[in-house]
Amino acid sequence: MDAVFPHLQIPLILAITQPGVGMAAEATSWQKEQVSRAYVHALATQGGYTVSDWNVDKDGVDVTLRSRGLMVDIQLKCTQNPRTIRSGYSFDLDVETYDKLRDPERSAPGHLALLIVPPDIGRWVIHQQDSIVLACHGYWSSLYGMGHAPGGSTTAIHLPEHQELTVKAMGTMFEAARRMTNSTGLGLS
């Protein structure tokens, strides 16, 4: 685990694999999407939030979290090869999706979540005697109200290392949603 996530302070977990399982392989986009959804569902469940999955990514949104009338939209991305930069990660998001998520006319703030999984797909899920561990970690960035992309077909999104995608982070997203609805006069209090 230290070789995969050297910055995390987690206890060593013994993972037992079967021969032939755990071979390094590039995951398909649907496998990355599904593990990202599983990660968000697990966190939302722990936080007491409901999750809506969208079958069509028309508005740049893969999942919407709900809590007491507030909504938070999230675009999910997943990588086996994260691009690290000073104090975090960088992900090239297509400008069309970026523009949808940053749109100030949105009724829910738009976020990008980047899930980082081990290079070896066989290590994404670790089975233990009394639990299953998702061996991945995520980061997020709020795009709501951001400026125009500087040009090109993609724009680099900075996902700070301190903005881990956790249950607490989801609470922070809902606080932003509350401020947004109050400032636009939608009247949630």
pLDDT averaged over consecutive 10-residue blocks of the chain (189 residues)? Answer: 48 40 72 96 97 91 97 97 96 97 94 97 95 96 94 95 98 95 63
pLDDT of residue 189: 43
pTM for this entry: 0.83
Contact 122, 87 (CB under 8 A): no
pLDDT of residue 12: 38
pLDDT of residue 7: 52
Question: Where in the chain does DSSP place strands (E)?
Answer: 50-53, 63-67, 70-79, 83-85, 88-94, 110-116, 125-127, 132-134, 137-142, 154-160
What's at 100, amino acid-wise?
K
